[in-house]
Amino acid sequence: MAQLDLITQGMKLEEGYFYEIYGAECFVESAPHWRRLEPFLQRCAELDKLECIHKVIQEVTDDRSYISELFEMAEGMLERGQTKAARMLYECVAECEKYQHSERLALCQYRIFTLSLGQDQHDNLRAAVHFEPYINRLDEERQLDAIRELANTYGGICHWDKVFQLAEELLQRVKFLEQYKNKKKGLEFIRASKHPLFTYKYYAYLLIATVWGERKEYERALEYTSFYSNIIIEDPTSEDQEFVERYKDWAEVNTYLYKLMMGNYDSLNSYLDFIEENENETLLGLVKVMEAANLYNLNVDHALRRFDLYIHMLYDDRKYESSYNDQIKDDRYTKFWAELAFYQLSKERFHEGFRNLLTCLKSAHKIKDDSTIIYCVGLFEEYRVQASDSVEFQYTSLIKEVYGRYDKKSKISINTV
């Protein structure tokens, strides 16, 4: 590969110019050898030549002796951030794995699941449903991460009953591992999970509290929030202490939140102070502030003025950071504009309200959030008489895009029947 790159450079051609020809001659038309194949795949990953990778691995998987090497290579690519190439290799290994109950197959499916998650809520749901049967085949500690990821995914698409079920399952598996490790005290264990064991138990409590909050059972949400408000760990490491502080912060902000959602207006300023200081919580916090304002007819204009710069940033380029994963961030972003649109329109601030509504509709269409699209349509129809010609035009254009997606989807369904 080094010689090929030097020849390409000497001929003043773009990097990887001959890779397709090289791949065909060395791995498709003749018997491949791992000493040649490994550096070729790696260079293709570095240059993002995914089509070359696809063509070659389709041929070499006839020889199953390379499956282990391809899996290890995929793991390395994942660590280096070469996610598209890694996913192709994981899919190849999963397809060729002859032992259908092997841990390697389950780990491939787990990697494919996490790499599949994105902005499309329908795709996220499909990825979660496809992966779920493989959880029990993973190593016990990796199961904790898998359940946590699944719960986050279902939370991102507001399937709260499923989140509750997975949180309870997470609690059971943590208890089992705690009992097992207590019996084997004195033995050293190599951690396979991303985080310390105790964190998964308290994350399960956080998930359960979140579900009770979404069900508007705020007293029960506060009860479960108290479980992770003051975690005590014997001889904590620096990593342990970091998580203890993180959960303490979450408990503080969620206590303010649930009290606010119960109509306790006195907790609003404390909640605003916290979400302003902790940027990871700002977006979700603003969603909840607007929800409470609309639920109890509160005036939160002072909160909007306080976060005016942040809200304008969301309008302009949507460069916000969060500790939540992408699908949860996308959902919160969309819900914020929905709540803000209702708030402004109900106060007869029609210019701001329609601007927020159109922003919400664009985002909901992008992530295929059908329930929010329906909400936007209903809200627009309620205030249509107040809409300017420009707003009408923008709304009609967006709705045509939405209808276009549904029309395309229905034609595909008809053609496949």
Give the DSSP H/E element, type plus range, for residue 155: helix 140-156
Per-residue model confidence (pLDDT) at position 327: 56
pLDDT for the residue 63: 65
Tokens of 26: 């060395």
The secondary structure of 221-241 as a DSSP string is HHHHHHTTSS---SS--HHHH
Three-class HEC string of 239-261: HHHHHHHHHHHHHHHHHHHHHHH
CB 370 within 8 A of CB 361: no
Q: Round the average pLDDT of the chain to a whole number and report it.
A: 88
Domain extents in the chain? 1-98, 132-262, 281-417
pLDDT score of 26: 81
| Greater model confidence, 22 or 289 | 289
Please compute the mean of the pLDDT values over residues 214-230 and round it to a whole number: 95
pLDDT (0 to 100) of residue 417 = 36
Question: Torsion-angle region of residue 118: left (phi > 0), alpha (psi -120 to 50) or beta?
Answer: beta
pLDDT tens digits, one per residue of 12-51: 888 888 888 888 878 877 767 788 889 989 999 999 999 9
CB 218 within 8 A of CB 258: yes
Contact indicator for 379, 357 with CB cutoff of 8 Å: yes
Band of pLDDT at residue 413, cut at 50, 70 and 90: very low
Of 333 and 324, which is predicted with more confidence? 333
CA distance 252 to 270: 10
What pLDDT, in 10s, does the model give residues 91-127? 999 988 877 788 999 999 999 999 999 888 889 999 9
At 135-155, the pLDDT tens digits run: 999 999 999 999 999 999 999
Residue at 9: amino acid letter: Q
On the question of pLDDT at 1 being above 60, the answer is yes
Q: How far is the C-alpha of 200 from the C-alpha of 222, rounded, in Å?
A: 19
pLDDT, residue 408, reads: 53
- Summarised one tens digit per residue, pLDDT across range 304-331 is 999 999 998 887 654 444 444 455 677 8
- Please give the pLDDT value at position 409: 52
Q: pLDDT band for position 390 (50/70/90)?
A: very high
Q: For residue 411, name the pLDDT band (cuts at 50, 70, 90).
A: very low
Reported as a single tens digit per residue, the pLDDT across 52-61 is 998 888 777 6
SS3 190: coil
Distances (CA, A) of 148 to 86, 198, 213, 284, 315: 22, 13, 19, 19, 31
CA–CA dist 258, 17 (Å, integer): 59
Q: Give pTM, 2 decimals.
A: 0.82
Instruction: Tell me the mean pLDDT in the region 379-391.
Output: 96
What pLDDT shows up at residue 66?
Answer: 81
Tokens of 254: 């969620």
CA 23 to CA 50: how far, in whole Å?
Answer: 12
Residue 397: the pLDDT is: 94
pLDDT per residue over 350-365, tens digit each? 999 999 999 999 999 9
Question: Backbone phi, then psi, for 78, in 5-degree steps?
Answer: -60, -45
C-alpha to C-alpha distance for 343 and 356, rounded to whole angstroms: 10
What pLDDT is attached to residue 335? 93
Mean pLDDT across 166-194: 86
Residues with Cβ within 8 Å of 11's Cβ and at least 6 positions away in sequence, in order, are 17
